[in-house]
Structure 1
């Protein structure tokens, strides 16, 4: 690792404010797998000016050039792959830290909800009762089995601000998003596996019992707050490792796509040309702006760019 890269890492590691600035991330894509609509929303969220729900070509270009300038200040105007990847991975760590903190808060909230008698532990009876409520919600056919193609359960009622639009209520998906039972497919993925088309109540309860016993580390028949948190955060930790690997690979891939002439460094021309190519692929109506009202591209822009360069 050369002096420029060490300087970059040292600066980023001690500058939380810098990581939160407009010049933070330089990747136009996310390393997490998301539907196209969510990918576009993340793009708009990152590059739109003044909390707008759309991003103009001018706003994007301004933000994109700021990212180049931030990187170039550490690389004499010639950004190497090492600097590019180091910049991205350091910024990723701040995002992962924020996501971990959110998971801890949410996990403790779930523990408190499961601990119905408020004795500071979760008994099997409390855990089983919660599982039965979950299964009943997804067993919309009341057949004792949840299958692919079953009607989705009614959405949970949540408090909302009536003055907000649907777009304003959306949030960017966490990089550490874990499998959830938000819909039928999520339920089956969690409790039946990717290859199975259904799960019975008996199979579901067997899975829940296995999770409970694994979480009850000291084997006293009760899950403490610490045991509950440790079990979930161990799974989050594995997710972190997967995200780090995918993010590093994506950063390397994007750098090599920008460096068309394979010089080993990026000029501002390389950087801007790539950014505008990404913008144009999202701008499916050629309106010089990207909004959620536009049709989605037929294929992920990242994949289209790879195909065009072959």
Structure 2
């Protein structure tokens, strides 16, 4: 019995010492730079915190093989565009779902009286808040721009100067005046109020936003299709209409090199953010 008590006491002491000696292990891991984080989110697996060049090259080879749907050993322009648009469509669908999820939140914020309807007075009050913030929006922060770039739908927002112009600059003179702003807001309320009861319910509010989402989706998808053809032409360096893996991997090497800013062959938390002005790591090829 004494031996058991002694062993338990010793064990308890060892465990207590070990627990006391472990605070360093509990420290948070170094944060990834924005570029490294974006690269790993796109090309890593399940919240990966690092990716070697060998792993990335294997991933690129696998994608290239899957893109070569006729199995002739090269990728033509149609195969290249089709593979890219398939991935882009998945990103658009995810972004659309995210935007719609926020619709209920926005509706509740506008419905100040909490009666399940946005009256014209509540709608106009929101417009006043938007207009009051216009001067601030003209000095949109870099973070605002980055958030817009992360959204494949690139929905215009009144929180940025460019978004205000896209939404309200009717005569395209590069300035939003109050008359334009009020006219667009009034027309939007009238078009959204489909049952003509003088207020907007959630179904009307959501339907109007869905229409804008889907129109924007068609626009950005068409742009993406055109861009994929431009990229194919740039990567097909011998201009024979067929892209070899070596040609395809030129863009992959460029993406990896930017994310692997310290040049050690691994994208991880040791890579500092690249200098501004260098090529983005958020490319899709």
Query: Shorter-chain-normalised TM-score: which range?
Result: 0.5 to 0.7
State the partner residue of 2:191: 214
1 or 2, which has the higher helix percentage? 2
CA distance in 1, matches of 2:164, 2:149: 22
CA contact (8 A) 2:164 2:176 kept: no
Aligned pairs, number: 244
Q: 1:195 aligns with which of 165, 169, 173?
A: 173
Q: TM-score, normalised by structure 2?
A: 0.68
Q: 1:179 aligns with which of 156, 159, 163?
A: 156
CA distance in 1, matches of 2:234, 2:180: 47
Q: 2:277 aligns with which of 297, 302, 306?
A: 297
User: Aligned with 2:240: secondary structure?
Assistant: coil
CA distance in 1, matches of 2:161, 2:81: 38
CA deviation vs aligned residue, 1:94-120 (integer Å, no higher than 9, x gap) = 222222211211112211221223332
CA contact (8 A) 2:60 2:252 kept: yes
Gaps of at least 5 residues in structure 1 are 1-36, 141-145, 156-169, 303-310
1:55 deviates by: 5.8
1:124 deviates by: 0.4
Gaps of at least 5 residues in structure 2 are 1-32
CA deviation vs aligned residue, 1:188-210 (integer Å, no higher than 9, x gap) = 5544466344644x654443223
Residue 265 (structure 1) aligned with residue 242 (structure 2):
yes
State the partner residue of 2:79: 83
Q: Which has the larger radius of gyration?
A: 2
1:171 deviates by: 9.9
Going from structure 1 to structure 2, the CA distance change for 1:293 and 1:187 (only over 3 Å counts) comes to same
After TM superposition, the structure 1 stretch with the greater mean CA deviation from structure 2, 287-296 or 82-91, is 287-296
Q: TM-score, normalised by structure 1?
A: 0.63
CA contact (8 A) 1:114 1:127 kept: yes
Residue 131 (structure 1) aligned with residue 145 (structure 2):
no
Q: 1:248 aligns with which of 194, 214, 225?
A: 225
1:240 deviates by: 0.8
Cα RMSD, aligned residues only: 3.8
State the partner residue of 2:14: none
